[in-house]
């Protein structure tokens, strides 16, 4: 029993230190950042991600330029994907592209204030490149650096300022730069899937003025991969089968849908559904930088008052609860960073609510503990009973809040109410973490401290605030 508790304590301390390290401003080693493989490679900076309302940026709402009855199922989703790859191609960090409601696309570009960028996003075609994949053939879906991209100032995995060409000296030695053979400019925009030969292929034609160089390149690279790259993301790497001049066909064991997608990609000028900009909002950081700073300090003052109160009122157990609450705060922040959760204003409110829940869980246990001691239980007995009895209240009250969160999330997601969604995410995560910190962390420390010194406390109950 005692040993098990000690092992738990060691694990808790280790977890707490790890969370503190993640949250702290100490520079993190590169390999650690790359361990969070589920995050976008360009966003792996182990920092709290701020939503548009906190850091400011551009919010663009797009709607189809056709009647919603004419909308083909799935076309909006492919338009969304295309826009997403364009935005990523522009090197905007943490941009989000979401479908809102039934027929709108919401694009959020944090840190960007130039509306022209948004207009380009819709009106310009995606940057299509044909890249020589002979050396280190890349995988589909991979983000690569290309010679053309460097010229535009795009280098992966690290992107510099938008639009500034990157010089050779700036390229880290470990980055492979692929040679851009052609850009999408050489194509006629009439690529189409074709199944007439029994095999599904994508036919394309090269503009007359580019045919000579296309012939020249293909003749030198027969049986080598030529990768189709859209906004720096590899789409596929078909092998050049023959010398080509006027055009050709791409064979890739396509289904008809895949072939259609590839054709759309090659034509590209046309999104699968024409879109119009419904509104461009330049979201200035709503609160203003000084307001955020002051609120942050005010929050700290409030939390400090809370900590002092807990310690003065509940003495030793109050102090133990405070340790548990600090663990809760650190691990919540760490989880927000690792998942990642983008913090918006409603999100912060949700998190603060979960802090209140965490405090409440501790108060429920402590009050129950005091009651049990007053009713004549020993310290040990009172700790165990208090946790057993308080757990029912804590479970039911938090479960009800979790149910509310689940519904809010569902609705927020369906109706594009990102404010509601952000609130629900941080609140529910916070509640789960607070349950762990109250029922496991605080309990373990409580056992360790109160059991070891139970005789001292039996004699001097004033130390427990009784």
Partner 1 sequence: MLFTIVQNRRYYFAFSLVVIVAGLVAMLYNVITLPTNTPWRLGVDFREGSRFVLKFNQPVTEEALRSAFTAFGLNNPAVSRLGQPQDNLWQVRTTFLAGEQNEALFSRVTETVGPLDRAQSSVDSVSPQVAREVASAAVLAVLAAVGAILFFIWYSFRKMPHPIRYSLCAIIALIHDILVTGGAMALFSAILGWEADVLFLTAMLTVVGFSIQDTIVVFDRIRENLPRYRGESFDQVVSRSLVQTVHRSIVTSLTNVFVTVALLLFGGGSIRQFVAILLVGLIAGTYSSIFIAVPTLAAWEERSLLGKQQKAPHAMPAK
Q: Which positions from 356 through 415 interact with partner 1, judged by CB under 8 A?
A: 356-357, 359-360, 363-364, 367, 371, 374, 389, 392-393, 396-401, 403-405, 407-408, 410-412, 414-415
Buried/exposed 255-284: b ≥16 CB within 10 Å, e otherwise: eeeebbbbbbbbbbeebbbebebeebeebe
Going across the sheet that includes 177-183, the strands are 145-146, 177-183, 128-132, 226-230, 233-236
Should residue 109 be labelled a site residue for partner 1 when binding is judged by CB under 8 A? no
Of 274, 302, 458, 460, which one interacts with partner 1 (CB under 8 A)? 302
Of 22, 60, 105, 106, which one interacts with partner 1 (CB under 8 A)? 106
Should residue 13 be labelled a site residue for partner 1 when binding is judged by CB under 8 A? no
**Binding to partner 1 in span 51-80, by CB under 8 A:** 56, 61
**Rounded Cα–Cα distance for residues 127 and 152 (Å):** 11
- Grouping H, G, I as helix, E, B as strand and the rest as coil, residue 393 is helix
Should residue 312 be labelled a site residue for partner 1 when binding is judged by CB under 8 A? no
Size of site (CB under 8 A) for partner 1: 75
Is 138 within 8 Å of 116 (Cβ atoms)?
Answer: no
Of 3, 30, 70, 290, which one interacts with partner 1 (CB under 8 A)? 290
Should residue 429 be labelled a site residue for partner 1 when binding is judged by CB under 8 A? no
- Grouping H, G, I as helix, E, B as strand and the rest as coil, residue 191 is coil
- Grouping H, G, I as helix, E, B as strand and the rest as coil, residue 319 is helix
**Rounded Cα–Cα distance for residues 63 and 277 (Å):** 6
CA angle in degrees (0–180, nearest 5) for 127-130-133: 130
Should residue 143 be labelled a site residue for partner 1 when binding is judged by CB under 8 A? no
Would you say 228 or 322 has its CB closer to partner 1? 322
Minimum CB separation of residue 312 from partner 1 in Å reads 12
Minimum CB separation of residue 69 from partner 1 in Å reads 20
Of 294, 378, 458, 463, which one interacts with partner 1 (CB under 8 A)? 294
Would you say 44 or 368 has its CB closer to partner 1? 368
Of 301, 312, 462, 463, which one interacts with partner 1 (CB under 8 A)? 301
Is 230 within 8 Å of 276 (Cβ atoms)?
Answer: no
**Rounded Cα–Cα distance for residues 77 and 64 (Å):** 12
Q: What letter does residue 156 receive in the DSSP assignment? A: S
Minimum CB separation of residue 402 from partner 1 in Å reads 10
Should residue 417 be labelled a site residue for partner 1 when binding is judged by CB under 8 A? yes
Going by their DSSP bridges, the two strands 96-100 and 104-110 should be labelled as antiparallel
For partner 1, which stretch binds (CB under 8 A), given 5-13, 241-249, 250-258, 299-307?
A: 299-307
Is 345 within 8 Å of 54 (Cβ atoms)?
Answer: yes
Minimum CB separation of residue 21 from partner 1 in Å reads 26
For partner 1, which stretch binds (CB under 8 A), given 3-11, 14-22, 416-424, 441-449?
A: 416-424
Is 33 within 8 Å of 26 (Cβ atoms)?
Answer: no
């Amino acid at each position: 029993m005692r040993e098990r508790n000690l092992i738990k304590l060691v694990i808790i301390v280790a977890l707490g230190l790890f969370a503190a390290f993640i949250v702290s401003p100490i520079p993190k080693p590169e390999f650690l950042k790359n361990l969070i493989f589920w995050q976008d490679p360009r966003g792996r900076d182990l920092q709290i991600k701020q939503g548009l309302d906190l850091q400011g940026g551009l919010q663009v709402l797009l709607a189809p330029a056709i009647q919603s009855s004419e909308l083909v199922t799935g076309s909006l989703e492919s338009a969304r994907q295309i826009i997403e790859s364009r935005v990523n191609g522009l090197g905007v960090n943490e941009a989000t592209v979401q479908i809102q409601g039934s027929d709108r696309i919401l694009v959020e570009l944090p840190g960007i204030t130039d509306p022209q960028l948004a207009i380009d996003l819709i009106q310009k075609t995606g940057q299509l490149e044909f890249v020589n994949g002979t050396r280190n053939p890349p995988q589909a879906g991979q983000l690569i650096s290309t010679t053309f991209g460097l010229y535009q100032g795009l280098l992966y995995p690290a992107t510099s300022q938008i639009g500034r060409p990157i010089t050779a000296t700036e390229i880290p030695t470990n980055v492979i730069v692929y040679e851009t053979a052609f850009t999408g400019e050489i194509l006629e925009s009439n690529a189409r899937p074709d199944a007439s030969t029994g095999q599904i292929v994508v036919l394309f034609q090269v503009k007359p003025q580019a045919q000579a160089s296309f012939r020249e390149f293909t003749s030198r690279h027969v049986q080598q991969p030529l990768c189709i790259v859209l906004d720096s993301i590899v789409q596929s790497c078909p092998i050049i089968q023959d010398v080509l001049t006027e055009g050709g066909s791409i064979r890739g064991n396509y289904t008809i849908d895949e072939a259609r997608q590839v054709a759309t990609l090659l034509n590209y000028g046309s999104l699968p559904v024409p879109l119009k900009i419904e509104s461009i909002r330049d979201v200035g950081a709503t609160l203003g930088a000084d307001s955020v700073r002051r609120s942050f300090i005010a929050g700290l003052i409030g939390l400090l008052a809370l900590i002092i109160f807990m310690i003065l009122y509940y003495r030793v157990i109050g102090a133990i609860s405070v340790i548990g609450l600090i663990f809760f705060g650190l691990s919540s922040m760490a989880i927000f960073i690792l998942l990642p959760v983008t913090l918006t204003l409603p999100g912060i409110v949700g998190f603060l609510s979960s802090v209140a829940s965490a405090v409440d869980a501790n108060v429920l246990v402590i009050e129950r503990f005091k009651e049990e001691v007053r009713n004549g239980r020993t310290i040990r007995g009172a700790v165990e009973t208090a946790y057993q009895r308080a757990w029912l209240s804590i479970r039911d009250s938090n479960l009800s809040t979790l149910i509310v969160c689940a519904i809010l999330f569902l609705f927020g997601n369906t109706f594009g109410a990102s404010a509601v969604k952000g609130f629900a995410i941080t609140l529910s995560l916070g509640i789960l973490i607070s349950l762990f910190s109250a029922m496991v962390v605080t309990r373990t420390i409580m056992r360790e401290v109160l059991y070891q010194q139970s005789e001292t406390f039996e004699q001097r109950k004033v130390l427990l605030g009784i």
